Amino acid sequence: MALVFIDTANLEAAVVIREAVLADGHEILMVEAAREIEDRAEEEEVALFLTGDPMSPPAEGMRSLLDARVLRPPMVALGGPDQSCARLQADLKVDACLPPSPTAEEVQVVLAQELDRFRLQLETGIVGRTEAIRAVLEKIHLIAPVPSTVLLTGESGTGKELVARGIHRFSPRRAKAFIAVNCAALPESLLESELFGHEKGAFTGATSLRRGMFELADGGTLLLDEIAEIPPATQTRLLRVLESRRFMRVGGSTEIQVNVRVVTATNQDLHEAVKTGLFRRDLYYRVNVLEIALPSLRERPEDIPVLVRHFIQEVSRQHDREFKGLTPEAMQILMRYSWPGNIRELRNLVESMVVLAPGSVIRSEDIPEEIRTGSGRALLPVRSSSVILPATDGEEAQLPQMEFVFRTLVELKMDVEDLKREFDRYRARHPELLAAGAALEGPGIEVPVEEEMQALVADNGRGDSIEFRPGMTMAELEREAIISTLKSVAGNRRKAAERLQIGERTLYRKLKEYDIDM
């Protein structure tokens, strides 16, 4: 039961609304001025019907009182010749609009829809007033009662787990368990055991029987987060479980049947993953029965002030600090930022500012520089698990190991730079080599390659020179350097290692590798 405020500016419409609301069992308060609702505006389930001009001082005062709440109660207005429903919802941000002379059925349907949406926000903590969030809440309300599999998509930090919990909480399974599993956080060797359980002795370390997440969530809801990270072998087994709701524990011989509602979530493009072969096509169609796409924070900047106010209240209570909010200049900075980390990034920023800000109001200078300057506007880099290149036969060529190749190239570049820095240091120690001319290009000194290599070997040998012949491999040159140095120290391997500036173990390995017998 909710408390419903009804503005009496249009008494005829107010009477119709009153009878319809009373028939649904709600409490009624007929009001003429904002001061009449001040004492009860903070009650949990509240709604407001504006029957007259929404811009009149009494109506404006009522809207302001309810608008001060982070999770704002529903406000319904009556349209008219000068107040179209579209304008009322767009300009005045009312949640719904009724005809000038509504019927009792219209009042009851609109009030029920808006109260359901409001209760969903109260239960889940999903904060937002934009159309994008209202669409998400509407989908949750429609999807929750049915047992179909749901796919949640959206960037990291958009609140996919909150939505999954909302689906569970408003479903017939609400009395049973809700279990969330982050598939990316589990190594491949343990993922099947975590999902399906294992029998005692199934593998090394399995000292007792363990029930998996599917068993623990029996009768309830199981969230498989980051489903795109599941390896192919587990994808095959998961497909069968989703189709039959039957599985065997790892190492088991008996099938177990469960009644689980599965919700999956990902921040990757599963359709693209199917095209590249990283995600099974049949599994994609099985998990994508019902889909909810969560908007990024960039797509709903109007919700930023509400979210900031919500997080300030939450963090202030946690840290026992009194905070009044942000200055208008600081809020404009947050509104301009693109939030690559979405709501999670915003929440962390608010907590850091509440803890570190010197005053009770967050100012522009309390905001980190990368947020103020917009240097963090680019999206955070996303790990690419495959790269698609055009193939000669017209089909797509997959390079799933491109990340490894890229990492190797980066390390190789670092090795080359280290080698060049070593040459630069050597040239600095031997300026007499500069007169020989320029054969090695670089940003600093230029030295002929042959002379530098000869001098480097001679220096390592402390006086014993080695003839460098064009065409010699580095292995041959290294072998001659080791032999020459060992001769210069009468075969003392410790001294030879010191002069060569390598470890004794490395020297012993090189002696065996080059078959050097001293």
**Who wins on pLDDT, 159 or 399?**
159
Q: pTM score > 0.75 for this model?
A: no
- The answer as to whether 64 is a domain residue is yes
- The answer as to whether 247 is a domain residue is yes
Res 3 pLDDT > 90: yes
Residues 9 and 35 in one domain: yes
CATH code at 305?
A: 1.10.8.60
Count of domains for the chain: 4
Residues 10 and 159 in one domain: no
Tokens of 139: 């989908």
pLDDT of residue 386: 36
**Cα distance between the two ends of the chain:** 96
The rounded distance, in Å, linking the Cα atoms of 177 and 222 is: 8
Residue 18 has a CB neighbour count (10 Å cut-off) of 18
pLDDT of residue 21: 95
Of residues 259, 256, 267, the one with CA closest to residue 221: 259
pLDDT of residue 492: 85
- The answer as to whether 500 is a domain residue is yes
Using the 3D structure, point to which of 99, 124, 149 is the last residue of a domain: 124
- Cβ–Cβ under 8 Å, residues 17 and 28: no
Residues 174 and 252 in one domain: yes
- The answer as to whether 488 is a domain residue is yes
Residues 74 and 155 in one domain: no
- Mean of all residue pLDDT scores within the chain: 82
pLDDT interval class at 449 (50, 70, 90)? very low
Residues 119 and 159 in one domain: no
The residue segments making up the domain with residue 75 are 3-124
Res 458 pLDDT > 50: no
CATH code at 53?
A: 3.40.50.2300
- The answer as to whether 406 is a domain residue is no
What is the length of the chain? Answer: 518
CATH code at 169?
A: 3.40.50.300
Residues 168 and 221 in one domain: yes
Res 429 pLDDT > 80: no
Model pLDDT for residues 198-250, shown as the tens digit of each residue: 888 888 878 888 899 999 999 999 999 999 999 988 999 999 999 999 998 98
Residues 362 and 302 in one domain: yes
Average pLDDT of 251-264? Answer: 92
pLDDT of residue 463: 44
**Who wins on pLDDT, 412 or 210?**
210
User: How far is the CA of 114 from the CAs of 7, 49, 65, 68, 407, in angstroms?
Assistant: 18, 12, 18, 18, 52
- The answer as to whether 54 is a domain residue is yes
Using the 3D structure, point to which of 328, 349, 373 is the last residue of a domain: 373
Percent of the chain residues topping a pLDDT of 70: 79
Residues 468 and 452 in one domain: yes
Residues 283 and 148 in one domain: yes
pLDDT interval class at 332 (50, 70, 90)? very high
- Cβ–Cβ under 8 Å, residues 107 and 123: no
The rounded distance, in Å, linking the Cα atoms of 448 and 438 is: 6
Neighbour-count burial for 405-424, b at 16+ CB within 10 Å, e otherwise: eeeeeeeeeeeeeeeeeebe
The rounded distance, in Å, linking the Cα atoms of 387 and 50 is: 57
Residues 267 and 310 in one domain: no
The rounded distance, in Å, linking the Cα atoms of 147 and 173 is: 9
Residues 116 and 141 in one domain: no
Strands (E), 317-394: 325-326, 361-362, 388-390
pLDDT of residue 456: 45
- The answer as to whether 428 is a domain residue is no
Model pLDDT for residues 4-29, shown as the tens digit of each residue: 999 999 999 999 999 999 999 999 99
Residues 22 and 86 in one domain: yes
The rounded distance, in Å, linking the Cα atoms of 220 and 225 is: 16
- The answer as to whether 315 is a domain residue is yes
Using the 3D structure, point to which of 253, 273, 293 is the last residue of a domain: 293
Model pLDDT for residues 172-202, shown as the tens digit of each residue: 999 999 999 999 888 887 888 899 998 888 8
pLDDT of residue 450: 46
Res 445 pLDDT > 70: no
